[in-house]
């Protein structure tokens, strides 16, 4: 039989209860998938998704910067088209894109043009 002290420690520190944690917290992959689909997320999960989306957009910018230094432009075009395709298939991510400052810089505008060429519905764009 567990001692009172060990029971108190488990109750006071729920991080020790793996089952409790797994049922309480969603995985990053689950939040990403749900958010990208455009489904409603609880506030805490929504904040996590926004952070992940911004990280994705920042990674895009870093990749563009690197490709400008070492590439011949072909890689830049591929990065722009790749993000446009990703946004086309992920309405929740597209919403975050159009709500962000990332979509308004020079390369963001090129992504937006690529999205338009792919035929993404204008309903995802914020006026």
Q: Which residues contact 45 (CB under 8 A, 6 or more apart)?
A: 26, 31, 34, 35
Q: What is the pTM of this model?
A: 0.74
State the chain's mean pLDDT as an integer: 84
* pLDDT one-digit tens code per residue, 4-19: 554 444 455 555 566 5
Domain boundaries in the chain?
A: 4-120
């Amino acid at each position: 039989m567990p001692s009172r002290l060990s029971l108190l420690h488990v109750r006071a520190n729920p991080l020790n209860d793996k089952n409790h944690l797994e049922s309480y917290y969603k995985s990053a992959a689950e939040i990403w998938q749900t958010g990208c689909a455009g489904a409603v997320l609880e506030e805490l999960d929504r904040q996590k998704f926004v952070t992940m989306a911004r990280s994705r957009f920042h990674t895009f910018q870093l990749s563009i910067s690197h490709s400008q230094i070492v590439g011949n432009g072909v890689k830049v075009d591929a990065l722009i088209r790749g993000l446009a395709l990703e946004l086309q298939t992920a309405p929740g991510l597209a919403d975050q894109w159009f709500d962000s400052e990332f979509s308004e810089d020079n390369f963001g505008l090129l992504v937006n043009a690529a999205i338009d060429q792919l035929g993404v519905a204008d309903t995802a764009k914020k006026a």
